[in-house]
């Protein structure tokens, strides 16, 4: 019950601009999203399943943790590759620091799949604005075969980023951290588009 009280207290402090709507569907669980550990997720979900709470509570729950990977300075990222994929990687690398807003695909705010859509649009490829649709695009590649521009699905939680080389990815992480460059923190699925 203490965890629920903490969530409610945090709810009162949530910025109303980021509390516009839920960020994930009721099919997601808090532990699958990487927000909280399994025991805490079970306690919170028993009280208020994600997707059935008010939009503000969903945002608070998701802001309590979220899409991982330690942040890396854009200056430490490897240079964009040459060739057709170069503009995709260059565009993605130029977006860190922009805000995460669910349902957007740039130019000033992004969600995770929106960043992918905007980056690939630079080379004339139109992709669906849905992580669950993106996972079926292109072809699967192994972690050992990753190349810049590949789509990284770190976990089964419905998150996607763009691999930029050197063990790094760019992703629109969550409303608290926005777009950032992170170390690749999981490789549940990897898809190559080009």
pLDDT along the chain (194 residues), means of 10: 38 34 35 35 38 32 43 66 92 97 97 98 98 96 96 95 96 96 96 96
Q: Which of 63, 91, 113 is the last residue of a domain?
A: 63
- For residues 88 and 157, membership in a common domain is answered with yes
- Out of 93, 98, 159, 180, pick the active-site residue: 159
- For residues 178 and 93, membership in a common domain is answered with yes
pTM of the complete model = 0.64
Residue pair 99/109 in contact (Cβ under 8 Å)? The answer is: yes
- For residues 115 and 33, membership in a common domain is answered with no
170 flagged as catalytic: no
24 flagged as catalytic: no
Query: In the prediction, which pLDDT does 24 show?
Result: 36
- Out of 19, 61, 77, 112, pick the active-site residue: 112
The tally of domains found in the chain comes to: 2
- For residues 59 and 145, membership in a common domain is answered with no
- For residues 40 and 75, membership in a common domain is answered with no
Query: In the prediction, which pLDDT does 168 show?
Result: 96
Residue pair 183/128 in contact (Cβ under 8 Å)? The answer is: no
- For residues 96 and 132, membership in a common domain is answered with yes
**Distance set, CA 194 to CA 65, 89, 148 (Å):** 32, 12, 10
- CATH number assigned to the domain comprising residue 154: 3.90.1720.10
Q: Which of 41, 63, 85 is the last residue of a domain?
A: 63
Q: Which of 13, 40, 63 is the last residue of a domain?
A: 63
- For residues 123 and 81, membership in a common domain is answered with yes
- Out of 24, 98, 171, 180, pick the active-site residue: 171
Query: In the prediction, which pLDDT does 172 show?
Result: 98
Separation between Cα atoms, residue 70 and residue 184, nearest integer Å: 9
CA 103 to chain centre: 12
- For residues 87 and 22, membership in a common domain is answered with no
User: Would you call 132 helix, strand, or coil by DSSP?
Assistant: helix
Start-to-end Cα distance in the chain? 49
Query: In the prediction, which pLDDT does 56 show?
Result: 31
Q: Residue 93 is part of which domain span?
A: 71-192
- For residues 167 and 187, membership in a common domain is answered with yes
């Amino acid at each position: 019950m203490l965890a629920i009280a903490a969530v409610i207290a945090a709810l009162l402090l949530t910025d109303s601009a980021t509390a516009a709507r839920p960020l994930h569907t009721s099919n997601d669980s808090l532990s699958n999203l990487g927000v909280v550990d399994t025991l805490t997720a079970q306690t919170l979900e028993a009280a208020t399943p994600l997707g059935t709470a008010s939009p503000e509570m969903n945002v608070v729950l998701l802001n309590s943790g979220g899409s991982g990977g330690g942040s890396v300075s854009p200056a430490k990222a490897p240079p964009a590759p040459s060739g057709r994929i170069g503009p995709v990687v260059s565009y993605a690398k130029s977006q860190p620091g922009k805000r995460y807003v669910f349902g957007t695909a740039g130019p000033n705010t992004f969600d995770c799949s929106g960043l992918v859509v905007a980056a690939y649009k630079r080379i004339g490829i139109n992709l669906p604005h849905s992580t669950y649709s993106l996972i079926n695009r292109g072809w699967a590649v192994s972690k050992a075969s990753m190349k810049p521009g590949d789509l990284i699905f770190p976990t089964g939680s419905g998150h996607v980023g763009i691999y930029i080389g050197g063990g790094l990815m760019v992703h629109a992480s969550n409303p608290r951290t926005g777009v950032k460059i992170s170390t690749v923190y999981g490789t549940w699925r990897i898809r190559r588009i080009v």
